[in-house]
Amino acid sequence: MDPYFLGQRTDDWSVAASRTIRDFFQRFLTLIRAGKEAEAYDLFTHLNEPNETRLGLSRGRPQGRGVGAGDSKLIFESLKKSKAVQSGLVEDLEDCRLFVDGIDKDKTSDMVTNIIRKHLLEYTQSQCRNFGISLTTAPTGFMWDPSTHQWTTGYDEMLIVNGQSILMVPKAVVSYSEAYTPQRYHQHFILNFLQHEQLRLGTALVERRVLKNGDVKRFVTKKRLKATIAPPSKEFITQFTSEHPDVFQQFRAEAQHKVRSLSNEELGPDQTTTVAAYLLRELTSTPPGPENATKYHKIIAAVLELLLYPHLITPETEVKIHAGRKRIDITYDNAASEGFFWKLHNQYRTPSQFIFVECKNYSGDPANPELDQLSGRFSPNRGQCGIIVCRNIDRMDTFLQRCADTYADQRGTVLPLVDQDLVEALQLLSGGNESNLEQKLQERFRRIALR
């Protein structure tokens, strides 16, 4: 888990987790700069190697380079002595990876996991409740509380598997830490800047080559820069950044467009096709009727999360609103940075920070009461886009006209999906192809909006 990537995301879960990370680190910086080293060090005594998320590439027992026994002291000493920390250059946890010796992606990921443990626990609890997975009361471990700026611990409902606690992680917040790295900053920004400067000043590092046409080409190699004036050390990176903060800002701005969630295929192509095939069997074998309504809701929650990831994330079922007087079958956080759900919010001006889903496990066509039920859950603060999922709609054109009336009256955007839409998308995914469901929703929206 990369704190820089987490800080760039705009979905509610990521924003809350990022605030907690920032609160922890700002508390640490405040204590260090106030000379309260004992209190500052105490914050690091609860950072250890967290195995509950099962992130990493080790087989068997963890063998990574994360925060192990004794590392907390070393990290603390490195931060305390860092010129970047003392000068104020470091303001966020992700910057430690660039400027502080001994801190790499594994250690920052471990630190993040410890700091946002409460968010991970709450996410785990919600997903277990969504899908009927049993929880056990057990020790939580230490969790950072931003309201008190302290570590807290206690007992809570935990996911225990084979005697070990498990913390689920929203897969959309997991990424390869390749964009915000000291190596990339040094190689592609610092050295590029120094090449131009050496050429501009005509220093001794400038080399010359006569081309075939007789022209003389002047150049400076990065290899010579590294060997002479720009070693790839964090001490040099800190010094350079203090003198050229504009280059650092360019790096941050460019990195923002490079980080992304891992795709389903990167997380596990074989698992994706297997899960898609399993959900396809479950969907097609579940008969309509009220006795199977709960099962149908759970299947749809899983199907949409799989097919619309990474744009819709963190599903929650049976969400209560209006002091519990109304419920929404399923809600998703809209985390899209491109595609239909991004356009919906940013181009079509439909508030859609959350996407609501109502599931109708009966054979007949939905009508105005079902539309009104869903649109009645809308509000500018919650969002005004929802999806009705049902087994079949014989008169699709009639229902789309009803959706168009709702849209024209500015009561929100309601999009219909039927089993056949989901079956086609799952068949594509189980065959190793991309899902077409978002395209299907885009087409339905056009038919509604352009009537």
Q: What is the DSSP string of 263-303?
A: PHHHH-HHHHHHHHHHHHHHHHHSPPSGGGHHHHHHHHHHH
* Contact present, 366 and 333 (Cβ < 8 Å): no
What's the whole-number mean pLDDT along residues 77-91? 87
Enumerate the β-bridge partners of residue 416: 388
Q: Which of 421, 423, 418 is nearest to 277 (CA)?
A: 423
φ and ψ of 10, to 5 deg = -115, -5
Element (H, E) at 183: helix 182-185
Q: What's residue 361's pLDDT?
A: 94
List of residues 6+ apart from 116 with CB closer than 8 A: 1, 17, 20, 21, 144
Which one, of 392, 393, 422, 387, lies nearest residue 303 by Cα?
Answer: 422
Query: What CA–CA distance (Å, rounded) separates 52 from 159?
Result: 10
pLDDT at 280: 96
In total, the chain counts a number of residues equal to: 451
- Average pLDDT in the chain: 90
Closest residue by Cα to residue 415 from 379, 380, 384: 384
pLDDT over 70 (residue 392): yes
Q: In this predicted structure, what is the pLDDT of residue 243?
A: 95
pLDDT confidence bin for 3, thresholds 50/70/90:
very high
At residue 226, the pLDDT reads 96
Q: What is the mean pLDDT of residues 129-152?
A: 94
Q: What residue ranges define each of the domains in the chain, with the CATH number in brackets?
A: 3-172 (no CATH), 182-231+251-256 (no CATH), 264-449 (3.40.91)
Retrieve residue 10's tokens: 């705009």
**pLDDT at residue number 324:** 65
Give which of 72, 80, 96, 77 is closest to 22, Cα–Cα. 96
- As a whole number of angstroms, the distance between CA 342 and CA 308 comes to 12
Q: What is the dihedral of CA 77, 82, 86, 92, to 10 degrees?
A: -90
pLDDT category at 47 given cuts 50, 70, 90 is confident
Using the predicted structure, report yes or no on whether residue 246 has a pLDDT greater than 90: yes
Distances (CA, A) of 306 to 24, 316, 434: 33, 14, 11
What is the pLDDT, as a whole number, of residue 62? 47
- Measured CA to CA, the distance from residue 447 to residue 404 in angstroms comes to 8
The predicted-structure confidence for 429-446, as pLDDT tens digits, reads as follows: 988 888 899 999 999 999
**Which residues neighbour 204 within 8 Å (Cβ) at sequence distance 6 or greater?**
none
Residue 427 has pLDDT above 90, yes or no: yes
Nearest CA to 416 among 352, 339, 350, 358? Answer: 358
More confident residue, 102 or 167: 167
In this prediction, residue 257 carries a pLDDT of: 84
413-418 and 385-390 beta bridge pairing:
parallel
Report which secondary-structure segment, H or E, holds 369.
Answer: helix 368-375
| Helix, strand, or coil (residue 163) | coil
Q: Are 330 and 300 in contact (CB under 8 A)?
A: yes
Residue 71 pLDDT level (bands cut at 50, 70, 90): confident
Asked if the model's pLDDT at residue 68 lies above 60, the reply is no
> What pLDDT shows up at residue 349?
87
Cβ atoms < 10 Å from Cβ of 98: 25
pLDDT attached to residue 27: 94
Higher pLDDT, 187 or 45: 187
Render pLDDT for 292-347 as a digit per residue (tens, 0 to 9).
999 999 999 999 999 999 999 999 888 777 666 678 889 999 999 889 999 998 89
List, as one string, the DSSP characters of 245-258: HHHHHHHHHHHHTT
CA dist 427 and 155 (Å) reads 43
User: Quick one: pLDDT at residue 188?
Assistant: 96
* Mean of pLDDT values over 182-198: 96
Handedness of CA 328, 333, 336, 342 (dihedral sign): positive
Largest CA distance in the chain: 85
- CA geometry: angle 295, 131, 413, nearest 5 deg: 70
pTM over 0.85: yes
Helices then strands (H, E): number in the chain?
21, 12
Alpha-carbon span 161 to 53, nearest angstrom: 12
